[in-house]
Amino acid sequence: MLLDSTLREGEQTPGVVFSEEWRVRIAKALSDMGVHMIEVGDPNVAPDIRRAIAKIIGMKGNGEIASEVVVHSRMVKADIENAASLGPDRIAVFYGVSDIHLAHKHRKSREEALAIVAEHVEFARSLGVKVRFTAEDATRADPNYLVEVVKTAHEAGADRVSIADTVGVLDPFRARDLFRLVKSSVGGLGLDVHAHNDLGMAVANSLAAVDGGADVVHVTVNGLGERTGITPLQAFAVAYYYHRGVRLVRLEELPRITALVENASGITVMPTFPVVGENAFTHKAGVHQAGVLANPATYEPLPPEVVGRERDFSLDKYSGRRAIQHRLERLGIPLGPDELEAVVGEVKSLNVRRLRDEDLLEIVERVTGRALRARVNRHIESYIWIRVADNVYTTSVARRVGAIRGVVEVSEITGEYDIVARASVDTAEELNRVIEEIRGVKGVVSTLTNIVLKELPAQDASWHNQYKRLPPAHH
Ligand code: COA
Ligand code: ZN
């Protein structure tokens, strides 16, 4: 199962604050995509956070949100009371358990800490909510002491314990061993892994922790969080799907939640970010592109559609013939072998970072002398569809429409409308005048106007001309 902490850990990203409205939107989106638990924040931090948490808990109450709603709190009774008063599904209380945290942050002995943990877990339980205990900095604690704290929290009423790799120093082998140790020492307890990414191993450590017995993995959208953040939702969900064949959430919604949190946080993911980074399904080198065109599996771990993405090819001097030919075919421009060779040669001589379709078309025009690019109209071209009353001759209406200044072509047509007029004018005012004049023609019931955005030259005019020159068929 996944616990998303974008609203708690994610807001601990320097520079990030979520408005009340964004908090609610993010919670709803996470719930909609199937995230099992949402850590929505600590209501003691600020009044607007408390208000948003209350709103989210209300949405859980009326069924708009399905995920378990978890609020965070220090082991301070007033804080816990305030959190419990909002009626969440669960309170997560945390306490540092490494000697560094005990000595320098809490200024407590190991024994004193055990008593504090027991007292506050019991207190939270007495308020009628489920309790998770988070062993902060657990991965730098003496493992035997960690087991003791976990047992204490469990006996005091916590049905889940989160083992936090607070400064991101686990490696996957130690992660698996540590979770095995805790799991085998304390029965009947849910185990969360909360992995920070300081050394870039959060996803691997989370996967290994699951191997060792964790059944909930803490993630944030886009990997937000203190310093280098924690396990990114996207990477973990897809790694888990790849390795275990299980979809923990609706994977095709990953791009949407990515964009939502990018907007809300003001932090964009880098292009090389797993799964949702701009480049995640874009192929560049000619050899890769040729491989992917033959079979996408050659250079893709999984089809992009699985995670709501599309395959793309980036063109520049690293491209080969196959990639360029493919792109041109997609643009409806098949080239002969010599032309293609010339275009590839031209592409290789340019130090362009990334060729856009427009750039490629320009090269083809230059190399082959064809005219391919859309002509941008300097004046306004439009089609005006006209419906004519039943009791009026369409042809006489068409003739009158054809006499209006600005109308360049008129046809009688079948279908919902009776006449289509093509108008070509210089300004919007003139177009309005044409439409008004058409509406003024006796017998016109209604009109619909479409403005032409761009015109493409017919690509095979030569073929068309040849066809017209064929001798008539003999019957
Ligand atoms: N349980 C109980 N007390 C804890 C604690 C815990 N798990 N972790 C830290 N503390 C104590 C510290 O020892 C320190 O106490 P001290 O002042 O006696 O040294 C205090 O909490 C933190 O210092 P400070 O932030 O100055 O306290 P504060 O009372 O002004 O504010 C918060 C407390 C929680 C409201 C404020 O720090 C805040 O808004 N924090 C944001 C949320 C946060 O820090 N979350 C961490 C999640 S891992
Ligand atoms: Zn954390």
Identify the structural domains of the chain with CATH numbers, from first to last: 2-265 (3.20.20.70), 282-368 (4.10.430.20), 381-451 (3.30.70.920)
pLDDT band for 369, please (50, 70, 90 cuts).
confident
Average pLDDT over residues 1-20: 97
Cα dihedral: 291, 294, 296, 298 (round 10): -40
pLDDT at 474: 44
Q: pLDDT tens across 19-32, in order?
A: 999 999 999 999 99
- Give the closest ligand to the alpha carbon of residue 10: 2
Q: What is the mean pLDDT of the chain?
A: 93
Distance CA 334, CA 269 (A): 37
pLDDT at 373: 75
Does the beta carbon of 44 sit less than 6 angstroms from any atom of ligand 1? yes
- Give the closest ligand to the alpha carbon of residue 3: 2
pLDDT at 132: 98
Distance CA 194, CA 209 (A): 10
- Give the closest ligand to the alpha carbon of residue 225: 2
pLDDT band for 87, please (50, 70, 90 cuts).
very high
Specify the pairing of strand 90-96 against strand 68-74. parallel
Average pLDDT over residues 158-169: 98
Q: Which two tokens stand for residue 5?
A: 């902490």
pLDDT at 475 over 50: no
Distance CA 91, CA 76 (A): 12
pLDDT at 136 over 80: yes
- Ligand 1 pocket test target in 6, 70, 73, 74 with most atoms within 8 Å of CB: 74
Any idea what DSSP says for residue 214?
-
* CB neighbourhood size of 385 (10 A): 17
Does the beta carbon of 244 sit less than 6 angstroms from any atom of ligand 1? no
Does the beta carbon of 104 sit less than 6 angstroms from any atom of ligand 1? no
* CB neighbourhood size of 418 (10 A): 23
Does the beta carbon of 105 sit less than 6 angstroms from any atom of ligand 1? yes
pLDDT at 372: 79
pLDDT at 60 over 60: yes
Q: Helices in 369-460 by DSSP H: which ranges?
A: 394-402, 428-440
pLDDT at 457: 64
Q: pLDDT tens across 429-450, in order?
A: 899 999 999 999 999 999 999 9
Average pLDDT over residues 324-352: 92
CB of 106 within 8 A of CB of 114?
A: no
pLDDT band for 456, please (50, 70, 90 cuts).
confident
Q: Ligand 1: which residue has its CA nearest to atom 6?
A: 74
Does the beta carbon of 77 sit less than 6 angstroms from any atom of ligand 1? no
Backbone dihedral angles phi then psi of residue 87, each to the nearest 5 degrees: 75, 45
194 labelled catalytic: no
Average pLDDT over residues 420-424: 95
Distance CA 115, CA 125 (A): 15
Does the beta carbon of 133 sit less than 6 angstroms from any atom of ligand 1? no
pLDDT at 470: 41
Q: Ligand 1: which residue has its CA nearest to atom 32?
A: 45
Mean pLDDT lowest among 47-51, 354-358, 394-398, 432-436: 354-358
pLDDT at 315: 94
Average pLDDT over residues 5-30: 97
| Index of the ligand 1 atom closest to the CA of residue 105 | 13
Select the more confidently predicted residue: 346 or 470.
346
Distance CA 145, CA 156 (A): 16
pLDDT band for 374, please (50, 70, 90 cuts).
low
pLDDT at 460 over 60: no
pLDDT at 257 over 70: yes
pLDDT at 473: 43
pLDDT at 377 over 90: no
Select the more confidently predicted residue: 472 or 417.
417
- Determine which one of 72, 218, 288, 464 is catalytic: 288
pLDDT at 376: 57
Q: pLDDT tens across 261-297, in order?
A: 999 999 999 999 999 999 999 999 999 999 999 999 9
For residue 400, give the 3-state DSSP assignment.
helix
pLDDT at 234 over 50: yes
pLDDT at 469: 40
Distance from Cα 48 to the centre of ligand 1, integer Å: 18
pLDDT at 464 over 50: no
